[in-house]
Structure 1
Amino acid sequence: NHLRTIGGSGQGAGQFLQPVGLDLDHRGMLYVADSGNNRVQVVDSEGNFVSEYGVRGWRTGEFDNPTDVAINFQRTELLYVADTDNHRIQYCNLVDRIFYIMAGSRLGRDDEDHDMDAEIEFDLPGGVSVGRNGEVCVVDTGNHRFVLFNPDGIRMLVRGSFGGARQQFRDPTDLVADPHGNIYIVDSGNHRIKKYDFSGNLVQMWGTEGETPGQFREPRHIDIDRWGYLYVTDRGNQRVQVFTKDGETVMTFGDESLVEPVGIAIFKNDMVFVSDVAANDIKIFQIVYRQ
């Protein structure tokens, strides 16, 4: 059920250029990786402008093509940003809004601004998510792998390499952690979803290239709702697919106006926000199939 569309093409408040990753805070404010405008924009569910972070650049607090955002509720609310073309993850406290580099490129940093894991080098990190205990999960798209950090930013785990085999990835684009200690990764170039545990063991995977339910064409982002269902934006098929945690298809939905669905976020009232990178807007759907 398509409720409404917010945003539109532009550089102004409440407008977007190539919006990608999305996340919601506890109040229902929507954080948008407004990649073409090199900023993170915050809007309410009606599309009214609330706040923004960042401008184009390489200094701390500046972004170059940011493609994902994630909010950590476990501690003081933290905002994580996949600062993709700067090859790093930045984060800030939502109260003081001062950014720090969590991991990635040292370009343009002062030592005191870099108090987490400087050793990891990213290549176009495209997705970031927060685990149940505050772990930070990153898809390192250009290196075809994912990296798991503890809440203090210390690297715990790295998995993946380039290819089509079970343990390999081809341009992974996003990931999400569930409350039970699993991580679901969008292996976009291989048109599949992969489920890992937090020890780095591959538990399950599903999907091939195609257009029938359970198949994908360039899946991009993933989120999980309060019931444990997984929502995947199936960009090339212009739809969103919904799965159980074991990969069984529950439903698919879309709208004739949905051109290139990429980012996705689900509020606790089952409102689903989908960023349309081609239309430069965000479509809002209400899911009504609940048991």
Structure 2
Amino acid sequence: MAYSLKATARCPVKSPRKTPRSKRKGRWVVPRRADLSFRALIGLGAFLVLAPVSANANRYDPTTLVFPPFAHTMGYHKASDYFLRFFLGRGISFRNPQGVCAVRMISTDDPASVKDDDELSLFAASARLHQILYNEELFKLKLFGGFGRGEGKFWSPHGVAATVTGKIYVADTGNDRIVILKTDGKKLSYVSAFGQFGLAPGEFDDPVGMAVDSQNRVYVTDMSNNRVQVFDSTGKYIYSFGTDYLREPTGIAVLDANDPWTYYKESFLVVVDEEGKRLTRFSLQGRKEKSITYKTLNLETSRFAYAAIDYYNNVYLTDSINCQIHKLDKDLNPIVSFGRKGTGEKEFLHPTGITIWKRFGQVFILDESGAHYYWVGVDAYLRGFFPPEFGQKGKPGTTISIYLTEPALVGMKVYDSEGVLVRQLLPEFKQFPRENDIVWNGLDNNGNFVKPGTYTLKMSIEPTYSSRRHFKKELTGTVRVVSSEAEDMEKGIYGLPED
């Protein structure tokens, strides 16, 4: 048995100068070269830049998350710390990034067009700067706030959450309060704050994580009070939970069944606690449903930081010690760990904040080296053929076992040794993450058992959204057929005379 792996990107990396103007697509391609350079640097929401995609096909290249297509970002997908200092000032450093959120503001959306639906507003907290970094009108980076206790000031902010109507909620950790800001897509301004230091309902002792559901309920991890508190959109206390179980909760992500961009229509939330070593799933009412620790992921230790949930209800978890993004299904079963330590492509330096715009699978991750921009992709592995050789006797056929990291459209074809298609097994059939077993019974497209020989199975794996039509993965393997009906008949097994 032999099998190989090949990934094919449908968005080839090209120089903007060599790309025919008639074929350029996307908001970031404009005729004037000066404007093109500026937009290529600023990219989507001014957060992605200065890390062009490499064309080296032999490099380390996991594809659970993939770079956006060339036409979308001109090949740039990372904002480095150098870039932030260049545009915000030499004294600016984003070395202690925390929470981040992405949202499509109603105020900036053109309801008559779908071309701008993926243009997001992003808000990120810098605990070191005591400020919120955000994009203004897509093309400008701005800072809001500064150290202090008054209006529009912060003391080591952490979690950030936003609504489509333009409300921004910030966990002002050092000031033990939640600050409400508002934006019209251009300017960020102070609205109000709620909470103070204390143990009573509505009071905080180190609020860290922030999340907002589709009904605009606000969820806050109250770290040193060992609980999660829930408020309405104005900051009015509703309920709390977790004091009997949680230990210094930090990151939180929430999904409710009324969210328009959720596949399973489930409601749940996940909370990180125990110094980043545990993740727990709760109902929205606070009923504990399942917990996992770093040991579940076969790790020696961990520092889980922030969490996010995608369209298929998969949970993404940043790990600042192992410098990875752990992906789990909605029941917290591990799927894959993405990335490794470093500052290169698909590498992270102590990642913290993460956010996913579920509609299109746009993923933003913060770490000490800057901000990363990905689309949800899919990785696939051929586990093997069971058995690798088979004949017509007994139980003819073989089971093809593949592992997926994301729901995907899987197509599978069988070719003989001369490259002739003999069987199409799956015409882009939807498969779900983790192990998938597909059976080939040894028959061709006409229902006849194939002749003895070596057969090549080619599998194409394509995401169901986000990077679909821009990226696909191909797996190739071989299986041997050692007998067939024609061969058995020639040997007289069916009562016919032998030669």
1:129 equivalent in structure 2:
253
Higher relative contact order (CA 8 A, sep 6+): 1
Cα distance in 2 between the residues matched to 1:84 and 1:169: 21
2:289 equivalent in structure 1:
156
Q: Which amino acid aligns with 1:50?
A: V
Q: Which amino acid aligns with 2:231?
A: C
Alignment CA distance shift 1:152-1:233 (3 Å): same
Instruction: Return the offset for 1:218.
Output: 1.4
Cα distance in 2 between the residues matched to 1:199 and 1:14: 39
What SS does the aligned partner of 2:219 have? strand
Assess if the C-alpha contact under 8 Å between 2:156 and 2:174 holds in 1. yes
Residue in structure 2 matching 1:13, options 139, 151, 155: 151
Give deviations 1:66-107, integer Å, cap 9, x for gaps. Answer: 11111111x4x3111011122211112235702422212xxx
Assess if the C-alpha contact under 8 Å between 1:85 and 1:124 holds in 2. yes
> Percent identity of the aligned residues?
27
Instruction: Return the offset for 1:3.
Output: 2.8
What SS does the aligned partner of 1:44 have? strand
What SS does the aligned partner of 2:242 have? strand
Q: Which amino acid aligns with 1:145?
A: R
Q: Which amino acid aligns with 2:168?
A: L
Structure having the higher Rg: 2
Instruction: Return the offset for 1:21.
Output: 0.9
Give deviations 1:171-220, integer Å, cap 9, x for gaps. Answer: 21110111212000111211110110112211111122111121112111
Assess if the C-alpha contact under 8 Å between 2:308 and 2:354 holds in 1. yes
1:188 equivalent in structure 2:
320
Instruction: Return the offset for 1:131.
Output: 1.8
Cα distance in 2 between the residues matched to 1:169 and 1:184: 17
Normalising by structure 2, we get a TM-score of: 0.43
Cα distance in 2 between the residues matched to 1:227 and 1:42: 27
Assess if the C-alpha contact under 8 Å between 1:87 and 1:123 holds in 2. yes
In the comparison of the two structures, how many residue pairs are matched? 229
- Write out aligned runs for 1:33-52 (5 A): 33-45=171-183, 46-52=187-193
The alignment status of 1:245 with 2:386, answered yes or no, reads no
Assess if the C-alpha contact under 8 Å between 1:123 and 1:143 holds in 2. no
2:226 equivalent in structure 1:
87
Q: Which amino acid aligns with 1:92?
A: F
Q: Which amino acid aligns with 1:241?
A: H
Q: Which amino acid aligns with 2:283?
A: N
2:351 equivalent in structure 1:
219
Alignment CA distance shift 1:143-1:7 (3 Å): closer
Alignment CA distance shift 1:141-1:210 (3 Å): farther
Assess if the C-alpha contact under 8 Å between 1:7 and 1:47 holds in 2. no
Instruction: Return the offset for 1:143.
Output: 5.7
Alignment CA distance shift 1:186-1:143 (3 Å): closer
- 4+ long deviations beyond 3 Å: 165-169
The alignment status of 1:209 with 2:341, answered yes or no, reads yes
Give deviations 1:147-190, integer Å, cap 9, x for gaps. Answer: 11122221111111469x53665121110111212000111211
Q: Which amino acid aligns with 2:193?
A: E
1:70 equivalent in structure 2:
211
Instruction: Return the offset for 1:132.
Output: 4.3
What SS does the aligned partner of 2:224 have? helix
